Each structure stands twice: as structure tokens, then as C-alpha cells.
A and B are shown apart, each in its own frame.
Chain A
Amino acid sequence: MGVVTSIEEIVGSLESGMTIGIGGWGSRRKPMALVRAIYRSSLTDLTIVSYGGPDVGLLCAAGKVRRVVAPFVTLDSIALEPHFRAARQRGAVDFTEYDEGMFMFGLLAAAHRLPFLPTRAGLGSDVMRMNPALRTVRSPYDDGEELVAVPALTMDVALVHMDVADTRGNGRYLGPDPYMDDLFAKASGRCFMSCDRLVEPGELGGPPQTLLVSRMHVTGVVETPGGGHFTDSGQGRDEMFQRHYAASAADPEAWAAFADRFLTGDEAAYQETVQQWREEGR
């Protein structure tokens, strides 16, 4: 059952060298408050499993990442993630690059305790060359078809962000897309969930099919209003702030100023500083 906890407790329970899954997709409903806390932490040598967005970028910028496992890293409305690009181009991170569907099959396999799942996606592409450990599997039936055996993407810890959660650790999403957050929860040894609003059990409301994450898969839950900022969570993406992030990330001096202003304090300080920035009409 999910215990109500704090950002600091969650990040304090993580260790360097861990494999950490991050829910959401691109620049959409990312658990950014938890990512920002890892950014400020002393953790290093992490393997990040993610449909990558600014979560991957920020952690690369902070030198926290040894390996990225992802089918892409993008800010959606801005195609390329500047910090991830820079890290790759200077050889600072290893990259396990999968097709989007392969990646989902890896999550599905891990979520269901299977060693692999077969798919066509990847065949004939350089995904097989870039991941020489990938193997194929032959159908035992008459067709004899050869398919990619996507290995389970098992994680030590997963981090997801929901619109609403209850104090037991049940999570609900309000937007049009659940992304893969339930699979991340099931594919990890421990899952921590942040949420915009924490309610009492029984008060989650809404249609039952939006109750995506079950407390049986959640170790800890924390209320982080605006915790998905600046990714698309609830009220849409903060495009202006994302542009500020991307422009700053492209230049070392501008990035130092950005990091100094927004990323040195705790989450409350971040939210307050973003509010001030907004009032400056930037």
C-alpha cells in the first residue's frame, strides 16, 4: 500500500547505480518535481528508462545518468531535447535505443514477469545493430516466423505523476492519455507516485477506467501541486517556460543562470520562482 510521503523521503530512498523508470511521454505528465529533486541530489550513475523528455534532459545536464533506455527524447513542441543531445554528442551517456513499440513490449514483459515478448518492430533496422545483445526468437508453429525477443525492461524504481491520488496510493489521470504509467508501476520493484491533488480513499471520483494505478503497485505517494510543470499535465504544457528552458539549455552561460534561479531550491521555491518569472511577463 502506498504510504503518504515526501519528495525528500522518496529521493532519499534511492541509490546511485539504480535503474529508474520515469512515466509520462516526451514532454507530457512527467513527474518533474521528483526529477528536480534527483537533479539536486548526490545520486549518480543512474540508468533512466523513459519515453524521454525534459526528465532525461535535466538528469543528463546534472551528470546523473550513465545510461538512457528510450525510443526518443523530445520536448514535443520543440523536437529535440538540447541537454540530451549535448550529452550524446560529447559521449557522456550510453544509449539503449529501441523502437517505441519494442519499448512498450519490454514494459509489458517486465510488468508480467516474462523474460521477453516477441514483436516484428526492430527487424531490419539498426536497432538490432545498436543493441548487439538483442536476440530474435523463432515461432514454434508452422509459420516459423522470426521475431525480435524484446527483453523485459525491469526497473528498481519507477516514478509517475497522476492528476489525483488517494492517501492509499491509488492514482487517477484526467487527460486523454494514460501513457504507460501503470506498466511502469508494475514493471518496477518500487513505484513512487506524485500527484497534483491528494484525496481521502473513496474520494477519487470519476469513471473507474481512469483509475490507472492501483495501490498494490505503489510504495509511496506524495502531493506535488504543479509537480508535472512544465510538461503537459492537466492545464496543458507551459510552452513559454519550456521555450525558456530549451533556449537556456542551448547555451552554457544561460543554463548556469537558469539552474541558479530555478533548480537550487526545493520544489516550493521552484514553483514560487516560476510564478515570479511569469509575473515578469517573460
Chain B
Amino acid sequence: MSATRAEICVVACAEAWRGDGEILAAAMGTCSILGARLARLTFEPGLLTTDGGALLTAEAVPFGAPAGAVEGWLPFREHLWLVQNGRRHVMMGASQIDRRGNTNISAIGDWARPKSQLLGVRGAPGNTICNPTSYWIPKQSTRVFVPEVDVVSGVGHDRAAGLGPRAARFHDLRRVVTDLAVFDFGTPDGSMRLVSVHPGVEVEQVRAATGFDLTIDGDVPETRQPTGEELRVIREVLDPKGLRYREVKA
């Protein structure tokens, strides 16, 4: 049973929550939502997940399915308080990301009169300064991995360092997962480092899709393959309709 790229990505996203214990796994994007629920159904059973709305589901539910039995209530107002509380690890998207982990979902170009107005900062400033944050980027390219983001929606390591240790004490960027590779910020200056490349991806390919200097330490391992059980859960339980392939081609 060989895994598709999308399935490698789902598992790589799931790995972001390994060791998190009893916190909310909040996710945006198909593979990251599937990843959160997969982690809960396999190696991280303490995680809390939602129906994509205001309900904390008693069990991890298939993508797009109704909540079924519920174990808690998390309307937007409570979700925003939970960000302040901190028992939450969010995996967001980003239209731009730089080598220090600053991200942009607000606007492309000059903010005062953008070339392209995007969503707005949404919860990115609060998420990044209050609780662990990872990113899921379904299509890595030099348009996304840029030297400098146009608007800092999510706070990166240089910005956090500038705030001083007190204000930045909850700032915690964990990892970035793309369709090509996995990254973290495990360098002395908190800049991005290549952790693994997905099976079938060359390191050069990742470098070519990155618009800044990437830290690459020696031989880069391959992102791990899903286990048989993980593949079964993805294919038969969480995403039988294959919605993951709308995000990452098979």
C-alpha cells in the first residue's frame, strides 16, 4: 500500500501535534484538518478537535461530516478566549512566509492600497503571540516563500525577539509543512530549516521553490511514510471521498 503525496502531507501535518497532549488542535485547510483528526485517532488521543464550527466533537469526525456526539462548546467568543488561555496549537495557512516565520494573509502589495486584498489578518496576530503555531502550505513556491512578507499578520522570530522575552514568552512557531517538505525554525537565529523532504522530492526542488536562503544541515532525511493503520484511517474513516486530492494532487 504505497502512500500518495497528499497522504504524506496529512501525516506530516499530524506530526505537528505529536506530544501536545490535551489541547485544542485547531486547523485550517483540508490536509491539516485531516492531520489533526488523524493524530487524535492514532498517536495523540488526548487532542480536542472540532466539527469545523462551534462544537468540540466527542470523537474525531470525518472531513465535512456532522459533529455527531459532542463533548464541548467552542463558539467564536470562547475560541478567542482560548487563544489567550493558550491550551491550543493552531495550524494556519499563509499566502506569504519569510525565513523568520513572519506570515501574511492580509494583503499583497502596499497595505494602504493593496494590489490584492486578501482575508485580513484574522486571528493570526493573536494566535502567534499567544499559543503554538504551525503552518500548512499546500503549494510551495517562491511566490509564497518570499524574502519579506508584505504585511506581517503572523509574528515571526525577529518580530517576537524585538518584543523582549516577557511579551514574547508564549510565541512558539513549531513547524511548516508544504506539499514538498517539512521545515522548522531550529537554528540559532530562529530562521527556517529544512527538516525533511517528502518521498520523491529532491532537496534542489525545495530550494528552487524557496525565495530565501534556507538552512540545510547535511543530508536531509525523507518525511516518514504513513503506517498501514494511518492509511486506513485516512482512506476509510476520515476522507473516503478523497477531498485531500483537491488540495494536493494524487
Contact = CB atoms under 8 A, between A and B. Distances in A.
Contacts of A121: 83-84, 123, 125-126, 129-130
Nearest to A128: B125
B10 interface: no
B84 A120 contact: yes
Contact of B76 (A52, A70, A124, A180): A180
Interface string A85-116: 10011010000011111101000000000000
B118 A102 contact: no
Given A72-B119, A79-B119, A176-B55, A125 B153 contact: yes
Interface string A60-75: 0000000000111110
Interface string A116-131: 0001111111110110
B106 interface: yes
Interface string B72-90: 0101110010011000000
A126 B106 contact: yes
B129 A120 contact: yes
B121 A99 contact: yes
B128 A125 contact: yes
B119 A124 contact: no
A89 B122 contact: no
Interface residues of B, number: 45
Nearest to A100: B123
A143 interface: yes
A130 B16 CA distance: 32
Contacts of B117: 80, 84-85, 88-89
A125 B154 contact: yes
B120 to A, nearest CB: 4
Contact of B125 (A52, A99, A177, A179): A99
* B126, B152, B171: residue with the most chain A Cβ atoms closer than 10 Å: B126
A145 interface: yes
A98 B83 CA distance: 15
A179 B106 CA distance: 22
A101 B120 contact: no
A17 interface: no
B3 interface: no
Interface string B36-76: 00000000000000000111000000000000000001011
A178 B77 contact: yes
Given A72-B119, A89-B114, A91-B113, A123 B76 contact: no
A127 B73 CA distance: 29
A192 interface: no
B151 interface: yes
A281 B159 CA distance: 52
B114 A120 contact: no
Interface string B138-169: 00000000000001111100011011001110
B124 interface: yes
Contacts of B205: none
A130 B111 contact: yes
Q: Name A's interface SS.
A: loop
B116 interface: yes
B115 A89 contact: yes
B77 A180 contact: yes
B170 interface: yes
B125 A25 contact: no
A125 B171 CA distance: 12
B180 interface: no
A56 B14 CA distance: 36
Interface string B93-133: 00000000000001100011111111111111110111000
Contacts of A15: none
A16 B67 CA distance: 44
Nearest to A85: B117
Contact of A71 (B53, B120, B166): B120
A126 B170 contact: no
B159 A125 contact: yes
Given A104-B80, A145-B166, A176-B53, A119 B119 contact: no
A72 B130 contact: no
A125 B124 contact: yes
Contacts of B154: 125
Contact of A125 (B115, B152, B168): B152
Given A70-B120, A126-B106, A177 B168 contact: no
A178 B76 CA distance: 8
Contacts of A71: 120-123
Contact of B113 (A89, A119, A125): A89
13 contacts: A71-B123, A85-B117, A89-B113, A89-B114, A98-B121, A102-B126, A120-B130, A123-B167, A124-B129, A124-B160, A125-B129, A129-B111, A143-B166
For the complex of A and B, the 6 pairs showing the least CB-CB separation, nearest first, are: A121-B126, A72-B120, A125-B125, A88-B117, A99-B125, A177-B75
